[in-house]
Amino acid sequence: MRENGNKAFLLNYQIMKVLITNIGVLAGVGHEGKRCLKGEEMLKLNTIEHAFLYVENGRIVDYGPRVDKPQIGCDVLVVDAEGGAVLPSFCDSHTHVVYAGSREGEFVDKIRGLSYAEIAKRGGGILNSADRLHELSEEELYKQAMQRVDEVIKKGTGAMEIKSGYGLTLEDELKMLRVIHRIKQTAPIKVVANFLGAHAVGRAYTGRQSEYVDHIINDMLPAVAKEHLADFIDVFCDEGFFTPDETRRLLQAGTKYGLRGKIHGEELAVSGGVEVAVECNALSVDHLEAMDNRDIELLKNSETIPTALPGTSFFLNMPFAPGRKMIEAGLPLAIASDYNPGSTPSGDMKFAVSLACIKMRLMPAEAINATTLNSACAMGISEEYGSITKGKVANFYITDPIPSIDFIPYAYTTPIIRRIFLKGEEYKG
């Protein structure tokens, strides 16, 4: 079957076999058996020039130099990449895309000189989003979130973690998680859910933080587990938010319900978040803008993936996580967007790659590996996603013809994605 066949026939025929030909560069190939890439391994993007890619039933079956492409039958859809590059879809391991409306007023406050912490103390930030979310219906939340999901898919994202944390009451956290569950069921990309009831202290518990922690453990967690709404539990362990001891309690409580821990840590100060993450075998510890050399040492020989969020540093005009240091120390750095209404209103992972190169001094190959295989690992799905590997889910995108892979972060605002494939099927949006 060819692309120029009868369009009506194509729409009514479920394509199970796809051959991508005339690929200028196929990147992110191999890495068989690799959970993630560490240190110097991150420089190995693995590319094949003048390549093909063959997919059956939504899985990658074969790839290689164009001269080795397989013989095909009439039941195969042939897609001409027209000399463009093919890369694995981005995996965004840290987003908050379920939220109610924007917060551009706080953006103006930041321009006037207020810090993130000062805005939060004035009732803005996370609590502002919680107030707005409380007023919105589950249906409207879903509609808004799906618009954002569509937006990031068109920018090359094929898997994402979505966190709760703008509810901060039992009812509203469940509302958020039900929306995330619905997105899981209806969106074409892979979605994992993270319960972040400990994003801030709910207004009803102002001045009673320890009671709010008890509320999460005794009331929220059992309800979340009963409905099977989350894959992970997360805590904002930082100055002015939750302490290391509270974080430890929350992660240990989550473990009893089969929820592995993740941590927001070391964003505003050296907070002890990395230490708790390693101690509790958290899957990832995210932000790390304020981490120190001791934190880097703690992460060595652990299974916790350090995850940088360069979009946050850019938008808040704060220091960037020391990505270069982490890689030179042999760590498996991941990079995610932190898409949220307050500190990073962008899910553009291509821009995150550029920021990682420009501001964190990563090489292009390192930044791309950090946003694909390593970020897949940071949400526990790297066996299925994050690279062009035989047997993995066929999530990838085709670019316009580009001079080299390095052009991707170099041309930091140039739209280069021509076509998107999720589970082996082209996404039309």
Structural domains in the chain plus CATH codes: 17-89+387-427 (2.30.40.10), 90-379 (3.20.20.140)
Question: What residue type is 82 in one-letter code?
Answer: E
Give the separation between CA 116 and CA 110, rounded to whole angstroms. 8
By C-alpha distance, which of 59, 54, 52, 51 is closest to 76? 54
β-bridge partners, 86:
26, 398
Task: Report CA torsion sign: 202, 208, 213, 219.
Answer: negative
**Residue 68 marked in a binding site:** no
Q: Half-sphere exposure of 331 toward its Cβ, with a 13 Å CA cutoff?
A: 27
Give the separation between CA 400 and CA 407, rounded to whole angstroms. 11
Task: Report CA torsion sign: 92, 138, 194, 203.
Answer: positive
3-state secondary structure of 388: strand
**Residue 338 marked in a binding site:** yes
**Residue 343 marked in a binding site:** yes
Give the separation between CA 184 and CA 162, rounded to whole angstroms. 10
Kindly state the DSSP code that residue 120 receives in the 8-state scheme. H
Question: What residue type is 389 in one-letter code?
Answer: T
Contact 402, 81 (CB under 8 A): no
- List b or e across 192-228, with b for residues whose CB sees 16 or more CB atoms inside 10 angstroms: bbbbbbbbbbbeebeeebeebbebbbeebbeebbeee
Kindly state the DSSP code that residue 12 receives in the 8-state scheme. T
């059956």: which residue's tokens? 56
3-state secondary structure of 168: coil
Give the separation between CA 429 and CA 249, rounded to whole angstroms. 42
**Residue 103 marked in a binding site:** yes
Contact 375, 307 (CB under 8 A): yes
**Residue 342 marked in a binding site:** yes
Q: Give the number of other CB atoms < 10 A from CB of residue 174.
A: 21
**Residue 328 marked in a binding site:** no
The tokens for 295 are: 């934190």
What's the confidence (pLDDT) of residue 7?
Answer: 41
Contact 289, 321 (CB under 8 A): yes
Over the chain (429 residues), the average pLDDT of each successive run of 10 is 42 71 98 96 97 97 93 92 98 98 91 84 85 95 98 98 98 98 98 98 96 98 98 97 98 98 97 97 98 98 97 96 98 98 96 98 98 98 98 98 98 98 95
Give the separation between CA 205 and CA 209, rounded to whole angstroms. 6
What's the confidence (pLDDT) of residue 285?
Answer: 98
The tokens for 287 are: 């932000």
**Residue 294 marked in a binding site:** no
Question: For the chain, first and last CA: distance in Å?
Answer: 23
**Residue 102 marked in a binding site:** no
Instruction: Annotate 199-243 with DSSP letters as a single string.
Output: TS--GGGTT-HHHHHHHIIIIIHHHHHHTT--SEEEEEESTTSB-
Give the separation between CA 285 and CA 263, rounded to whole angstroms. 5
What is the value of pTM for the model shown? 0.94
**Residue 264 marked in a binding site:** yes
By C-alpha distance, which of 287, 282, 302, 278 is closest to 380? 282
What's the confidence (pLDDT) of residue 6?
Answer: 37
**Residue 31 marked in a binding site:** no
**Residue 150 marked in a binding site:** no
